[in-house]
Each structure stands twice: as C-alpha cells, then as structure tokens.
Copies of this chain bind each other. A is one copy, B any other.
C-alpha cells in the first residue's frame, strides 16, 4: 500500500522541501512541478494558487505537529513528565517530517498565511501556553511569561534540528535525552539541592 504517491501528494512533498530550502518567494511554481514530476498546470488542479498551496501545506504540517505533541498526552502526569512528552512529541514530528518542522518554524509569521493558518498555529501555541501556565502555577516552571518560556525551549529545539536537517549533526537517542534535560533545566525552577 502507498506504492505510488498520488499527484497531489507528490506536489505537496515537493513544495514542502522547496519552501523549506528556498523559502516561499524563492520557490517558483515550475520548480515545484519539476520536482514533483507533474505538469505546471496540474498544480492548479489541486490548489487554487501558490498561496493556497503554502497555506494548505502549513495547516497540514501544524496538524501533524499538533498530533505528534498531543498523542498520548499524559493529562494526569507530572509537569516534568508532560514536558518530556511534549519534547519527544516534537522530536517525533521533526524526525518523520524534518522539512515540515523547519517549514512551520520559519513560516509561522509569514505575510501570506491566511487567518485559518494563523489560527491553527495559535491553537498549538495555546496548548503550550496552558502547559506553561500550569507549571508556573505549581512553582515548577520558572515564573516568566509563558511566551518567553516557550520561545526558549522551542528556539533551542529548532536550532538543534536545523543542524540535523543541514546534515551538520547526527542525532542519537542519548543526545536527544541530554538536550531534553538542557531544555528542562532552562525553564524549570532549581532548588538548592537540584
């Protein structure tokens, strides 16, 4: 099953890689068609225009991101356990769709995203906000603005995966565990005895 990708899937896949590599404005529609091995016109059968394509792509990736992070979320677990879950949710998404991860990160503020795309991303952020707020409330996460905390972890994680995506770093389970610890230590409250 899934022997051959549908034309639509080939377009989506090609566009994702190109948008991640060259950005939206640096990617032309014929480039996408070439990489997807379809005719230029075919793209317009599946997407109204280039902007609709990038938005569909973005929403699709955010959805995958969301799913990866929220799947099996330990609602009843400790803040520490939940952090680990979210972190490795991001890892899971990034590993199965490294271009998608980079694409979402670099395009989340783009001017050509439509309200629906923005909303889908906001929902993902809201979830992390809520998590941070709860952790702060419990005195486990440092009392900084949730935005800042999210930025710190997400920023660190993103830059690391950019290295991996660029082939400058080979990820290993041990390394990921260590990085997770780095991130946790960055945002968690430290007691005198660790």
Contacts and interface: CB of A to CB of B under 8 A. Distances in A.
Interface of A is mostly: helix
A73 interface: no
Given A178-B144, A185-B190, A192-B193, A166 B26 contact: no
Contacts of A154: 159
Contacts of A175: 144-145, 148
Interface string A114-155: 000000000000000000000000000010110110011111
Interface of A: 22-26, 106, 109, 111, 142, 144-145, 147-148, 151-160, 162-163, 166, 168-169, 175, 178-179, 182-183, 185-187, 190-194
